[in-house]
Amino acid sequence: MCETTLGYMFWSKCTPTNQSSDGRGAGLEIVLVVFVVGHIWNLVRMCMLQGVKTFITCLHNWYEYDSITHLLFLLTFIFWLSALVEKETSDIPDDLERKYWHHLDSILMAEGFFAVATILAFGRLLLLCQLNYYLGPLQVSLGKMTKDIAKFVVIFFLLILSFTAGK
């Protein structure tokens, strides 16, 4: 999923665009929609083949993570479609700068959801790192080390707070 997302991001940055509110994108939205819908269909098919209980309890499935990522991509697609409909029905000029757009504009919402979904899609690569012979143990060690660092930070802030309160 992250390869397609990376390709879309590269394509959208390479094409000259203005910041118009016309709702048109770079042209690769259809490819992204087809890819994500196919990925969702694969997830649903695996759930039906394995059974819901087995699918949810299986340790190698990241179904919660995938579900959130797919939901964010679907919200992106809905807001893209909403932006196209708004373009046809509204009388807002196309050359209006972004800073004057409404904060709940469909394009802005779609871009926000797309950004978060893209980050989650790239975060899915952590599974591949866990499966790697060399990177897997390092990732487990880093996770445990992060917990120890968090404990230290809590104790450190309590110590600093006690000195500031005592002064």
d(CA 79, CA 111): 9
Q: How many CB atoms lie within 10 A of CB 106?
A: 21
Confidence at residue 76, expressed as pLDDT on a 0 to 100 scale: 94
* Total-model pTM: 0.65
What pLDDT digit, counting tens, does each position of 28-55 carry? 888 899 999 999 999 889 889 988 888 8
d(CA 6, CA 146): 29
Q: How far apart are CA 54 and CA 70, in angstroms?
A: 21
Determine contact, residues 29/73, Cβ cutoff 8 Å.
no
Domain coordinates in residue numbering, the chain:
2-131, 132-167
Contact 23, 110 (CB under 8 A): no
